Structure 1
Amino acid sequence: MSGSLPPRRARVLVVEDSAVIRQVLVRLVRDDPRLELAEAVETAEEALRLVPLLRPDVISMDVRLPGMDGLEATRRIMSACPTPIVIVSDASTDPALQVSMNALRSGALSVVEKPAGWLSGPQGGAAIATQLYIMSQVPVIRRRLSAQWPVTPAPVPVPMDLRPRVLAMAASTGGPPAFSHILGALPATFPWPIVLVQHMGAAFMEGFAAWLGTQTSLSVALARQGERLRPGHVHVAPGETHLLVGPGDEIRLSHAPPLGGQRPSASMLFSSLAREAGADAVGVLLTGMGEDGSAGLADLRRAGGYTIAEDRSTSVVHGMPGAAERMGAVCVSLPQGAIASHLLGIAGALHHATEWAGMLEGPMS
């Protein structure tokens, strides 16, 4: 006898008002050896009553429910009894998309596309089950409200020799609220173009970009092939598509195979900037599971770029930034609440340096 016990199955609470979809989700859970059904309910009120009693490892949460919706249920669960929550949403409905994105901001960990029924296919069902299992392993805490972060974080010294012209950012689990918080603190006059990778199902990327545009004064849209980078604009990687920066700061979209299981790949984005911008680029790697982005961030730092990782203290999952730290790919690690001010400090230092250079050159012209 080996004496080792089989891994404990993750207990799932299914919250879904459609009887058909609820049956599909229950079947997916029961058919997966990694999962165990705790209960299946059709209202948020039932879920709120059962969470402290059943203590599920993960919750599959619909957003459009009778009575209280999934967004308010997420807020209450994350406040009273923090539990990993996976939003199961209809990607084709704009209101549901907006609620789903706001639920992520309120503490839900990820969003997956709602199964169409019994014929949704084994691949789609396996993806939902896998997402439930993976998220069940994430330790969640009582949701941090943005108001709890210092309004004026402790200042971080700004390197005075930086002259960046482009900013790249990437995240996975916990990314949407992190992007919302950081980009929401940047003014419409922010001087650099921003290229962004978020790991999320392809069906949600257009809705994610639209939602992110409501969270910031910057313009936000899915990146287009051949588009030139524009200051003050956020170019978001489309679903299942690598986003690269090519010569002349032109966007290149690629359907090459996933790198490290990810498409879009944060590492491919950062590596493209290392080749094309080098010391003229800033890379920011935020919360996320796995190691995507770490190798590319290392390439960028070796090329002279300035690299920032989210600190463990605010990361929902410190996998991606932690891997970059271990590789020596990070110039500075900052809590989420200090990243925007640090970026503004770099931009301000560059602006003042340019003004000062102009004053010095003036009398000589």
Structure 2
Amino acid sequence: MVTEHRKIGVLIADDSLVCRELLTAIVEDDAVLEVIGTARNGREAVDMTHDLRPAVILMDVHMPEMDGVEATRRILRDTPTPVVMISASTGQAELDLSFTALDCGALAALQKPVSPNDPHFDQVADDLCRLLRLMAEVKVVRRRDPSAAFRETLPIQAQSVPSVVAVASSTGGPTALLDVFADTRDNAGPAILVVQHLAKGFAEGFVSWLSERTGRDIRLATHGERIQSGQVRFAPTGVHMSVGANRTLQLSGCQPGQIHCPAGDVLLSSVARAYGSSAMGVVLTGMGADGAAGLLDIRSAGGMTVAQSEDSCVVYGMPRRAVEIKAAAKVLSPRQISQLLVRFSNVGRPGKALA
């Protein structure tokens, strides 16, 4: 007897008929995905999510009556369902809306597929379907404010201020990073280096959005840049960021077959080599295991290591792996990590013991 596997139901929300038809064709061409409904605006998307119960939603940012941000907010409140945002442009205004949707609970954001005549169309279509399949597996829950969690005991009083903090982050990371930087300030504490997995074309807009939301001077890294206390640098899309022997930022090309580029493991392992016991590593929410091996390198070198707590993660994948291989000495929420960074800033120079 042959068992028929149930396909993954996808709801598409886009005000453009041409885009709905193109997205439908892409999804229907996948062996395990099927379109169970199409919405012309955010209001229809909210209603259809309640009625059809899709496994994942592909949501346009700009739509009449109700945009994708408000639709995502209502869906996550009333009928928690994985949402993937799509944008027709990588202009800053459009990207700001996409990242605001991520802050409301959407899992990922990417640019709309281009014309089927584009030479990269097949790869873009494959990547979109792969993302939908992955996001459909995420259990979405109503989020709670983790700000009170810092009242828990944090056994870190004997630690000293690190020279650098290296962070690996993926699905759910934009919201987690907002919390991490929430109470910190410029030109104080250790340098912070971040790898955040993002779709192509979104890194510069994300850094600008995060800088605006947090009030911090946050920038993409440049090759050869010297690392300084208090600075925040993100890896650009499509290149690895690491720390060289002379403690400058190094940007290098990706190798064929690598799953992530930039990769958290590349950054964290290089920080372990360059800074040893004066390094701190953090692995935030995300699918897979990126960052866990690098975090173990930092712990082996005597540095401080942290994994995001399960209850505060959108996807407890990367932090889970870090805990499983005993790479994480501490398990904290993003707000707890933020307050720890504030302590570092208040203490002052790297190497000084925390009170």
Fold shared, TM-score > 0.5 on shorter chain: yes
Residue 238 of structure 2 corresponds to which residue in structure 1?
240
1:186 CA drift (Å): 1.0
Q: Give secondary structure in 1 for the equivalent of 2:9.
A: strand
Residue 214 of structure 1 corresponds to which residue in structure 2?
212
In 1, the alpha carbon distance for the partners of 2:182 and 2:345 equals 16
Instruction: Give structure 1 stretches of 5+ with no counterpart.
Output: 357-365
Stretch moving more, 103-112 or 215-224: 215-224
- 2:331 pairs with one of 308, 330, 333: 333
Superimposed CA distance per residue, residues 295-353 of structure 1 (whole angstroms, 9 cap, x where no aligned partner)? 11111110111100001111111110100111110110112321111233345456698
Q: Give secondary structure in 2 for the equivalent of 1:17.
A: coil
- 2:15 pairs with one of 10, 13, 17: 17
Give the root-mean-square deviation of aligned CA atoms: 2.1
Identical counterparts, % of pairs? 37
In 1, the alpha carbon distance for the partners of 2:257 and 2:338 equals 29
Change in Cα spacing, 1:116 to 1:259, as seen in structure 2 (3 Å) is: closer
Q: Give secondary structure in 2 for the equivalent of 1:196.
A: strand
Q: Does structure 2 retain, via aligned residues, the 8 Å contact 1:286–1:315?
A: yes
1:1-365 residue pairs with structure 2 within 5 A? Answer: 1=1, 5-120=3-118, 121-144=121-144, 146=145, 149-150=147-148, 152-257=150-255, 261-348=259-346, 354=352
Change in Cα spacing, 1:189 to 1:222, as seen in structure 2 (3 Å) is: closer
Q: Give secondary structure in 2 for the equivalent of 1:244.
A: strand
Instruction: Give structure 2 stretches of 5+ with no counterpart.
Output: none
In 2, the alpha carbon distance for the partners of 1:162 and 1:305 equals 10
Q: Give secondary structure in 2 for the equivalent of 1:337.
A: helix
Stretch moving more, 75-84 or 152-161: 152-161
Change in Cα spacing, 1:149 to 1:293, as seen in structure 2 (3 Å) is: same
Q: Give secondary structure in 2 for the equivalent of 1:344.
A: helix
Amino acid at match of 1:246: G
1:354 CA drift (Å): 4.7
Change in Cα spacing, 1:195 to 1:7, as seen in structure 2 (3 Å) is: farther
1:48 CA drift (Å): 1.2
Q: Does structure 2 retain, via aligned residues, the 8 Å contact 1:218–1:232?
A: no
In 1, the alpha carbon distance for the partners of 2:213 and 2:257 equals 30
Change in Cα spacing, 1:116 to 1:280, as seen in structure 2 (3 Å) is: same
Q: Using CA pairs under 8 Å that are at least 6 residues apart, name the structure with larger relative contact order, 1 or 2.
A: 2
In 1, the alpha carbon distance for the partners of 2:187 and 2:343 equals 14
Superimposed CA distance per residue, residues 68-108 of structure 1 (whole angstroms, 9 cap, x where no aligned partner)? 11111111110111100000113422211000001000000
Superimposed CA distance per residue, residues 21-68 of structure 1 (whole angstroms, 9 cap, x where no aligned partner)? 111100011110110111112111111111111000000000011121
Q: Which is higher, the Rg of structure 1 or of structure 2? A: 1
In 2, the alpha carbon distance for the partners of 1:17 and 1:244 equals 42
In 2, the alpha carbon distance for the partners of 1:238 and 1:109 equals 20
In 2, the alpha carbon distance for the partners of 1:126 and 1:352 equals 46
1:6 CA drift (Å): 4.8
Amino acid at match of 1:140: V
Amino acid at match of 2:163: R
Provide the TM-score with structure 1 as the length reference.
0.91
In 2, the alpha carbon distance for the partners of 1:351 and 1:160 equals 16
In 1, the alpha carbon distance for the partners of 2:101 and 2:259 equals 26
In 2, the alpha carbon distance for the partners of 1:68 and 1:37 equals 21
Amino acid at match of 1:133: R
Q: Does structure 2 retain, via aligned residues, the 8 Å contact 1:91–1:203?
A: no
Superimposed CA distance per residue, residues 253-272 of structure 1 (whole angstroms, 9 cap, x where no aligned partner)? 01131675111010010000
Change in Cα spacing, 1:309 to 1:222, as seen in structure 2 (3 Å) is: same
- Counting matched residue pairs gives 353
Q: Give secondary structure in 2 for the equivalent of 1:207.
A: helix
